[in-house]
């Protein structure tokens, strides 16, 4: 018997355009303590790889990443608050690992030590901690360490 259709099965991933920036910025404001400004997303559309996750026509998540000399890095990733915990973050990350593995051997990211949800998700897909950057992020209470995580990709597969 077929299982119940999942919401993640209905979501699509496509390139981000400037028209998406208002929706993306609205999510960013909602879910991150030090949100990127709209201009940073507009710059990223020009300079980096940017994708959005949509449900019907609504943008519910996004990721910004770079690939330079065989090394990829996630610069920003988030899911709309109302859609968190439903598998969309995992879907976006699985997609990223697939496309990035065509052009990179290693995937890097940085995450706040207090961001348990993100750390669990990254561990679940095979990222491991490689070092700690002391006092890397500003917070309302002072500074916070960043964990640098990496995952080896199956280059070209």
Among 94, 98, 124, 152, binds ligand COA (CB under 6 A): 124
Check if 58 is active-site.
no
Burial 97-108 (b: 16+ CB within 10 A, else e): beebbeebeebb
Q: Does 120 interact with ligand COA (rule: CB under 6 A)?
A: yes
Is 86 in contact with 74 (CB distance < 8 Å)? no
Other C-beta atoms lying within 10 Å of the C-beta of residue 5: 8
Contacts of 64 (CB under 8 A, 6+ apart): 16, 41, 44, 48, 49, 50, 74, 75, 76, 77
Q: Which residue has its beta carbon closest to ligand COA? A: 89
Q: Is 118 in the site for ligand COA (CB under 6 A)?
A: yes
Judged by CB under 6 A, the residue of 94, 116, 145, 152 near ligand COA is 116
Binding to ligand COA by residue 9, rule CB under 6 A?
no
- Per CB under 6 A, does 147 bind ligand COA? no
Looking at 18-26, 44-52, 116-124, 129-137, which segment touches ligand COA (CB under 6 A)?
116-124
């Amino acid at each position: 018997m077929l299982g119940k259709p999942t919401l993640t099965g209905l979501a699509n991933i496509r390139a981000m355009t400037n028209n998406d920036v208002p929706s993306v910025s609205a999510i960013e404001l909602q879910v991150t303590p030090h949100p990127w400004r709209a201009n940073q997303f507009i710059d990223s559309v020009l300079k980096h790889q940017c994708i959005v996750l949509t449900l019907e026509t609504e943008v519910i998540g996004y990721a910004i990443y770079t690939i330079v000399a065989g090394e990829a890095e996630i610069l920003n990733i988030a899911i709309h608050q109302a859609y968190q915990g439903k598998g969309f973050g995992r879907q976006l990350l699985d997609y990223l690992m697939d496309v990035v593995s065509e052009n990179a051997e290693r995937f890097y990211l940085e995450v706040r030590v207090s961001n348990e949800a993100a750390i669990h998700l990254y561990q679940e897909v095979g990222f491991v901690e490689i070092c700690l950057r002391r006092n890397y992020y500003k917070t309302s209470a002072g500074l916070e360490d960043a964990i640098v995580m990496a995952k080896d990709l199956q280059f070209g597969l």
